[in-house]
Amino acid sequence: MEINKRSLSMQEYQLKDKAYYKGVNWKLFDLVGPHATNILEVGCAEGLFGAAVKEKVNCSYFGVESYPPAAEKAAHHIDEVITGDIETLKLPFEKNTFDHVIFGDVLEHLIDPWAVLANMNPYVKETGSILASIPNIGHISIFESLLTGKWTYTQAGLLDKTHYRFFTLEEMKKMFHETGYKVSQIDPISFTTHYYEKMISKLAHVNANMGIHHADFENEARAYQYVIKAQKR
């Protein structure tokens, strides 16, 4: 019997805490250009990120949201919301429309984010960009889980049950390159503790002893997610 993955996923979205749909990633927000006139946000949730952008920039702001209750609320905050799955939607926009297409913690929820990024390319202006935040599966907390024999899915976070894809920094860069973009800016959002710093130091020592060459291992292990600006090539 074939399992409808999208149906199961939608059930999981219904179980999420209400705060899940209200977040604003301010580091991603800072990448929005002051002169942008048209912006599309894929996975706009309840539209609070878009509302903040519209206060900062005089722009037309469009959203795509697959979870209908969130899309209904977003319609009160941004100019237009399309309810549907970005992986199957036929978008009603002209080519070269958007200064930014924004994916705030969205690409990891897609079955084929590579196809979505490639399909979005024609809608981005020649001077435009993709702005994205993506969780880093190379964070030290994941190493800790693996060392204790665990890979436990949760309602939110790095091992969110609704994540289909997992990326390290290198794989993020590779995905954008393969889909027609050039990464022009990457900034980490770090999370660490004294305990994690001790573990990072010891794992770096293991890398050196085993001849594993990963020059920026320590910084990447601190990064909980990355915010990325990628322009058309």
pLDDT per position as a tens digit, 140-191: 999 999 999 999 999 999 999 999 999 999 999 999 999 999 999 999 999 9
- Reported confidence tier of residue 4, pLDDT bands at 50, 70, 90: low
Residue for token digits 């429309």?
97
Per the domain annotation, does 203 fall within a domain? no
pLDDT average, residue stretch 218-226 = 98
Q: What is the mean pLDDT of the chain?
A: 94
Domain count for the chain = 1
Q: Is residue 208 part of a domain?
A: no
Whether residue 10 contacts residue 109, with contact meaning beta carbons closer than 8 Å, is answered with: no
Describe the strand order of the beta sheet including 60-65 as a list of residue ranges.
Answer: 80-83, 60-65, 38-42, 98-104, 124-135, 223-232, 181-190
The pTM of the full predicted model, rounded to 2 decimals, is: 0.92
Any domain includes 202: no
211 CB burial (10 A radius; 0-12, 13-18, 19+): exposed
Do the domain assignments include residue 199? no
User: pLDDT at position 9, please?
Assistant: 63
**The pLDDT of residue 7:** 57
Q: Which two tokens stand for residue 77?
A: 């905050």
- Does the pLDDT at position 105 exceed 80? yes
> Percentage of residues in the chain with pLDDT exceeding 70?
95
Task: Give me the pLDDT at residue 3, please.
Answer: 44
Residue 107 within any structural domain of the chain: yes
CATH code of the domain covering residue 139:
3.40.50.150
Domain contains 98 = yes
**What type of residue is 70?**
A
Residue 193: count other Cβ atoms within 10 Å of its Cβ: 10
Is 228 domain-assigned?
yes
Predicted local distance difference test score (pLDDT) of residue 21: 80
Average pLDDT, integer, range 44-63: 97
Amino acid at 72: E
Q: Which of 110, 225, 90 is nearest to 179 (CA)?
A: 110
- Please state, in angstroms and rounded to a whole number, the distance separating the CA atoms of residues 202 and 42: 39
Q: How confident is the model at residue 2 (pLDDT cuts 50, 70, 90)?
A: very low
Name the pLDDT band for 13 (thresholds 50, 70, 90). Answer: confident
Instruction: State the pLDDT at residue 1.
Output: 35
Statement: residue 137 has pLDDT above 80: yes
Digit-coded pLDDT (tens) for 20-50 = 788 899 999 999 999 999 999 999 999 999 9
- Domain of residue 117 covers 5-192+222-232
The pLDDT value given to residue 20 = 79
Q: Does any domain span residue 71?
A: yes
